[in-house]
Amino acid sequence: MAGRLAGRTAVVTGGSAGIGQEIARRLASEGADIAVADVNPADETRELVAETGRRFLGDKVDITDEDAIHEFAARVRRDLGAADILVNNAAVVLLADFEHVTLDEWRRTFAVNVDGAFLATKAFLPDLKESGAGRIINITSSSYWTPPPPFVSYVSAKGALNGFTSVLAANLAAHDITVNGVAASLVRTATAAATTSEAFFEQTVRIQNIKRVQMPADVSGVVTFLASDDAAFITGQIIVADGGSTRR
């Protein structure tokens, strides 16, 4: 079966693990070839994409390194063709409340979560313009509206990413590129488990309408929809896929 994304090339930053890995697998299952930029090896993702029969390129790239991300964009173009879909997913979570957070932690969080999305978007913009159906999807967080105190730099960075999504949509509409965000609740990934606690998972489920822990597939389905032709008239939106923990 051809799939909704047949013939497209999708780039997923931070696609070696967690939500990014599931997004890569799901986009491939809908027919897209996949490129992953991650500081960690993408071997597992490579295997998952191979099972779908799609092509895969996984490179060790630090998305805060401007030269590295531009070189990666050139390799993607050479090996898979021009990118149609960019998922800005890579992130770090450094937990500290305002009184304890250091300037280095604040800057590191913004460097990966915000500058990384900015640099990846700059690097892939020529490809996305060429696509005719370009898609930029930023992975953000519903914690922006339900901020736990120790997430001061993370929530602030996700707020910046929400703003970037909004203004980028206005900038790029003339090039037939849509720009949207997906805001997840607390998702069961190795990083979330390592940086929080089971009690925090339970507390989060309590504030959701849907009384179960969110899984990566709850995010990847929304990303796939936004990447598809069905979402051609949606832009500048943050789709809050959080089981109803925020009621804006």
Site string (118-157) toward ligand NAD, x via CB under 6 A? ---------------------x-x----------------
Closer to ligand NAD by Cβ: residue 46 or 129: 46
Q: From the list 5, 8, 12, 20, which residue makes contact with ligand NAD (rule: CB under 6 A)?
A: 20
Instruction: Let me know if 154 is a catalytic residue.
Output: yes
197 makes contact with ligand NAD (CB under 6 A): no
181 makes contact with ligand NAD (CB under 6 A): no
Number of residues in contact with ligand NAD under rule CB under 6 A: 30
Measured CA to CA, the distance from residue 123 to residue 59 in angstroms comes to 15
In order of 20, 74, 88, 174, 178, the CA distances from 166 in angstroms are: 22, 27, 14, 14, 10
Closer to ligand NAD by Cβ: residue 42 or 125: 42
Residue 142 has what DSSP assignment?
G
58 makes contact with ligand NAD (CB under 6 A): no
Q: Which residues pair with 33 in a beta bridge?
A: 9
177 makes contact with ligand NAD (CB under 6 A): no
Among 34, 57, 87, 32, residue whose Cα is nearest residue 219: 87
Q: From the list 11, 12, 19, 223, which residue makes contact with ligand NAD (rule: CB under 6 A)?
A: 19
Residue number of the CB atom closest to ligand NAD: 18
Contacts of 162 by beta carbon, 8 Å cutoff, 6+ apart: 138, 140, 144, 181, 183, 238
User: Under the phi-then-psi rule, with left for phi > 0, alpha for psi from -120 to 50, and beta for the rest, what region is 7?
Assistant: left
Q: From the list 187, 213, 223, 238, which residue makes contact with ligand NAD (rule: CB under 6 A)?
A: 187
92 makes contact with ligand NAD (CB under 6 A): yes
Q: From the list 6, 40, 173, 202, which residue makes contact with ligand NAD (rule: CB under 6 A)?
A: 40
CA dihedral 104, 109, 243, 214 (to 10 degrees): -90
**Size (the chain), residues:** 248
Contacts of 136 by beta carbon, 8 Å cutoff, 6+ apart: 85, 86, 88, 121, 128, 165, 168, 172, 177, 178, 179, 180
44 makes contact with ligand NAD (CB under 6 A): no
Q: For binding to ligand NAD (CB under 6 A), which residues are involved?
A: 13-14, 16-20, 37-40, 61-64, 89-92, 112, 116, 139, 141, 184, 186-187, 189-192
